[in-house]
Amino acid sequence: MIAKYPSTPECRYIDVAQARRALGVLTELAREAGPDSTLALILQLARCEIASLLESEEAAARTATRVAA
């Protein structure tokens, strides 16, 4: 999904702290499931999606900070 409006500290699409926690939890669950399991693959895909959202949100926040300065 592409954001139509730039992210500001008041308007976030995701909660950064929750996204970071979810990354850690998904990593641990995938490790527990084992490297060759289908479940680990699904968990890693979910982790990649959240990491991508987090990266986009952080980049938008940096851009908003630079524009405001």
Q: Is residue 43 included in any domain, yes or no? A: yes
Q: Is residue 7 included in any domain, yes or no? A: no
Q: Is residue 9 included in any domain, yes or no? A: no
For residue 9, the model assigns a pLDDT of 54
| Six-digit token string for 25 | 């939890």
| Six-digit token string for 69 | 């300065």
Write the CB contacts of 6 (distance below 8 Å, at least 6 apart in sequence).
Answer: 60, 63, 64, 67
Q: Residue 1 pLDDT > 60, yes or no?
A: no
Predicted TM-score (pTM) of the model is 0.71
Q: Is residue 61 included in any domain, yes or no? A: yes
Q: Is residue 2 included in any domain, yes or no? A: no
Q: Which structural domain range is residue 48 located in? A: 16-68
Number of domains making up the chain = 1
pLDDT, tens digit, 9 for 90 and up, residues 6-41:
555 555 678 999 999 999 999 999 999 998 999 999
CB 23 within 8 A of CB 17: no
Q: Which amino acid is at 20?
A: R
